[in-house]
Structure 1
Amino acid sequence: MSLTSIRLNNEVKIPLENLSKKLDRSKNYLINQAIREFIARQEMVETLWSDTLEALNSIKSGKAVSAQEVESWLQSWGGPNEKTPPKP
């Protein structure tokens, strides 16, 4: 495990100390947890952005499904004649 020092301003330091006492967890634990969650959220944002760019490129290249086809497919869900998902 490595050591990194950070400066906390009072608007972070005081609530962190209070939360640490309330949860009976160290400030170190809470800071590490917050950083893990931030990193996971950033990775998710990057994945969503990548998926968005892929979808936009797909539409630009003419690979799209009409709203009518999607609506027809969704309306068939749960019925005896359920359709397969539409393909571009």
Structure 2
Amino acid sequence: MTVITTRISNELDIILSNVAKEIDRPKGYIIRKAIESYIEEKADLLIALSRIEKGEEVISLEDIKKKYGLED
């Protein structure tokens, strides 16, 4: 496992500490999960943009909702 060091604002540290206390997890766990989530979202976005640029089929959110009966 690699160790990465970064600086965060005092305000963000307070929020992080409060969340850590609330869910009874270490701050490192929350930071790790936040980074994983961010990277997954960015990867999904890059894949989607790449497919759009290549002219591949794009399925709208509305079509997905209709297909699975999730309309409002």
Pick the TM interval, shorter chain.
0.7 to 0.9
Structure 1, unmatched stretches of 5+, are 59-88
- CA distance in 2 between partners of 1:53 and 1:2 (Å): 35
Q: Structure 1 residue runs of 4+, over 2 Å off?
A: none
Q: Secondary structure at the match of 2:2?
A: coil
Query: Higher relative contact order at CA 8 Å, sep ≥6: structure 1 or structure 2?
Result: 1
- d(CA) in 2 for partners of 1:51 and 1:4? 33
Report what 2:25 is aligned to.
25
TM-score using structure 2 length: 0.72
Bigger-Rg structure (1/2): 1
SS in 2 for 1:7: coil
- Unpaired runs of 5+ residues, structure 2, are 57-72
CA offset digits 1:16-55 (Å, max 9, x no partner): 0000000000000000000000110010010110011012
Which one-letter code corresponds to 2:30 in the other structure? L
Say whether residues 1:48 and 2:48 are aligned partners: yes
Q: Percent identity?
A: 30
Counterpart of 1:9, as a letter, is S
Show the counterpart of 1:75: none
How many matched pairs? 56
